[in-house]
Amino acid sequence: MTANASRQGAGRMLVSFVRAYPGRTSLALLALIIAGVLDGLGLSLLLSMLNLATGATEDPSMPEQVALDIVESLGLEPTTVSLLVLGVAMIGVKAMIVLLANRQVGYTVAHVATDLRLKLIQAVMNSRWRYYLAQPVGRLSNAVATEAHRASEGFFHGAVMATQTISALIYAGLALLISWQASLIALLFGGGLLGILHFLVRIAGRAGRDQTGLLKSLLSVMTDQLGAVKPLKAMAREQHVDRLMSSQTRDLKKALKSQVIAKAGLTALQEPLLAILVGVGFFFFLVQMSLPMGTVMVMIFLIARSVNHLAKAQRAWQHMAVSESAYWSLRETIDEAEGEREPARGHLAPSLERAISFDQVSFGYGDKSVIKELSLEIPVGQLTVLTGPSGSGKTTVIDLVAALLHAQSGQIRIDDQALDDTDHQRWRRLIGYVPQDPLLVNDSVFHNLTLGEPDLSEADAREALELADAWEFVSALPQGMHTTLGERGGRLSGGQRQRLAIARALIHKPRLLILDEATSNLDAESEAAVVATIEDLKGRLTLLAVSHDDGLVRAADQVIRIREGRLAEIAAE
Ligand code: ADP
């Protein structure tokens, strides 16, 4: 936030919205200006009508003269009736145009929220793996949910502010045409009175900034804690989370309170100030300037309306100040993720015919060296199991194979082609990946396999399920592969869930299947069944598994033991 402080501000937020949606915003703005002009003309017609009806002898003021000219140019007699009808018609048309402009603004608000959300999701999805790993999930969900919503509200209030300011300018313009000196003084006085209240806009802005920061950290903490509720509850430690959350929720309440006070204060104080303006205006125009009563009435009416619209614009500005920080926070997250975009690497088509090999590969996180001059070979069509103590670097080896991480020295080759020269996206499309936690969603078996990819058919799903030894139990479900699984696949056993995860990896017909501790969470019986499934896949494709499980180690064609990032042993089983 602080790094970008110079480019923040409610005004800058509006400018960036106008830049992002030049067509939509200029159309809405044009419509509002036309509406404002029609409103002014309609009012002038009604004023002329009043003058005519009351038989006032004064010379018509400039707006009245314009109104009379319009009536004449339409070939009508300037009678009270024709002026009244035309005035009412113009104000009616104005109302229609405002309606259309507001509809346009409403649609744009929905666009703003959706675009910001999609932009963030795309930027995060396209970012480097190491960047993604470091992101608190809660921060991203907060950005997609609350910040995008608040940012779009900022756009809405910006549009309200523009509407109200245009109306204020039109009324001020009419008043200036009647008596520019008197109006100028009155408008400056009114503007000054509202200026005094500007501190309430700043207070609301500060409360908005506090909320943005607090929501961000609250949602990050909460997402982490919700993922770890079971041990907390089992050890009766949940009150610590309570305490942590309650201090942040209390701060949030404080920020909300000061926002409420600032908003209520602005509305409450604007009203008496407007009354003062009217009183002082009457005194000033009638007594000091000795203007005729008719003119004073019209002037007070116009100036009061103008300042009233200005007051509404100020309230919209205040709303915008509250939402503004959410917009900048979201923009910052998007910009950061876009800056971490994974570059398109390699251009050669991958082919996996012989082996994947590591030649003196080293890799570290920051200063911490994790993989040290590692050389190994993963032959095609066989099951290679990587084993070794926790923290020895097995997952890092897998991430290097999937090109999610890149060797800092040494060379990884697919057959004889350097992985660095291989098109990374095309290489990853040849990989099926099965994680330790199957990560099923509360949807049908079919959807859990295809993850919404439209090109995959039921036949593809059945083939994958059969290969993963899952067809038997899936076809026995009430609606077969269209049965909904329940939250996190709750209806199934651990072994069944893991087989679905294997089917999900196989549905794309990969050449390399990576199993990352895929049997670690299973009981002995399920593990044996999943190992049998994996053994059946040998020869069909290349299998690379990280595992401590004896069963999988026994089933392996080759076992590679790693210790502290170095090769400890290669054993052909
Ligand atoms: P294994 O899979 O064998 O348990 P990993 O490959 O996950 O081991 O990790 C190897 C080492 O790298 C560990 O010491 C771990 O602390 C460190 N490490 C893993 N991921 C990161 C990361 N994103 N940032 C910093 N260190 C990491």
**Predicted pLDDT at 7:** 54
Q: 144 CA to middle of ligand 1, Å?
A: 29
448-455: long-range contacts at Cβ-Cβ below 8 A with a sequence spacing of 24 or more?
448/485, 448/489, 448/500, 448/504, 449/481, 449/500, 449/503, 449/504, 449/507, 450/507, 451/504
387 and 262, same domain (yes or no): no
Which ligand 1 atom lies nearest to the CA of residue 134?
Answer: 23
Among 358, 396, 399, 400, which is best to mutate for testing ligand 1, by the most ligand atoms less than 8 A from CB? 396
Q: 297 CA to middle of ligand 1, Å?
A: 78
458 and 542, same domain (yes or no): yes
**Bridge pairing between strands 368-379 and 355-365:** antiparallel
CA–CA separation, 115 vs 330, rounded Å? Answer: 12
Report percent pLDDT > 70 for the chain: 97
Report helix, strand and coil shares of the chain as percent, to nearest 5.
65, 10, 20
Res 489 pLDDT > 70: no
Tokens linked to 291? 């203007």
Res 168 pLDDT > 70: yes
Q: Which of 339, 373, 393 is the last residue of a domain?
A: 339
pLDDT, average across residues 512-518:
91
Quick one: pLDDT band at residue 548, thresholds 50, 70, 90? confident
Q: 143 CA to middle of ligand 1, Å?
A: 28
List pocket residues of ligand 1, CB cut-off 6 Å: 133, 365, 368, 370, 390-396
Nearest to 15 by CA among 155, 143, 109: 155
What phi and psi values does residue 50 have, to the nearest 5 degrees? -60, -45
Give the type of residue at 2. Answer: T
Tokens linked to 280? 């002082």
Nearest CA to ligand 1 atom 11: 391
Q: Which of 311, 339, 367 is the last residue of a domain?
A: 339
Q: Environment class of residue 183 by beta-carbon count within 10 Å: exposed (0-12), middle (13-18) or buried (19+)?
A: buried
Q: Could you tell me if 303 and 171 are in contact, meaning their C-beta atoms sit under 8 angstroms apart?
A: yes
Q: Could you tell me if 82 and 34 are in contact, meaning their C-beta atoms sit under 8 angstroms apart?
A: no
Q: 140 CA to middle of ligand 1, Å?
A: 23
Q: 272 CA to middle of ligand 1, Å?
A: 65
Coil, helix or strand at residue 154 = helix
**Predicted pLDDT at 189:** 86
Res 289 pLDDT > 70: yes
Q: Which of 339, 372, 389 is the last residue of a domain?
A: 339
In which element (H, E) is residue 11 found? helix 10-20
187 and 280, same domain (yes or no): yes
In a domain, 534, yes or no: yes
In a domain, 344, yes or no: no
174 and 302, same domain (yes or no): yes
507 and 386, same domain (yes or no): yes
Q: 492 CA to middle of ligand 1, Å?
A: 31
Query: In this structure, how many other beta carbons lie within 10 angstroms of the beta carbon of residue 54?
Result: 10
Q: 438 CA to middle of ligand 1, Å?
A: 21
303 and 449, same domain (yes or no): no
Res 167 pLDDT > 50: yes
CA–CA separation, 428 vs 425, rounded Å? Answer: 5
**Predicted pLDDT at 135:** 85
Q: What are the pLDDT digits (tens) for 229-278?
A: 777 778 877 777 777 778 888 888 999 999 999 999 999 999 898 888 88
Nearest CA to ligand 1 atom 1: 391
375 and 420, same domain (yes or no): yes
Nearest CA to ligand 1 atom 7: 395
Q: Environment class of residue 487 by beta-carbon count within 10 Å: exposed (0-12), middle (13-18) or buried (19+)?
A: exposed
DSSP state of 179: -
439 and 301, same domain (yes or no): no
Q: What are the pLDDT digits (tens) for 350-362?
A: 988 999 999 999 9
Nearest CA to ligand 1 atom 16: 391
pTM here is 0.78
Res 57 pLDDT > 60: no
Task: State which residues form the domain around 469.
Answer: 355-572
CATH number reported for the structural domain that contains residue 191 in this entry: 1.20.1560.10
Which ligand 1 atom lies nearest to the CA of residue 388?
Answer: 3
**Predicted pLDDT at 56:** 62
Quick one: pLDDT band at residue 55, thresholds 50, 70, 90? low
In this structure, of 229-243, 428-442, 520-534, the range with the lowest mean pLDDT score is 229-243
Quick one: pLDDT band at residue 380, thresholds 50, 70, 90? very high
**How many domains is the chain built from?**
2
Q: Which residues contact 459 (CB under 8 A, 6 or more apart)?
A: none
Res 3 pLDDT > 50: no
Query: In this structure, how many other beta carbons lie within 10 angstroms of the beta carbon of residue 339?
Result: 10
Res 2 pLDDT > 50: no
Give the type of residue at 464. Answer: A
pLDDT, average across residues 162-188:
87
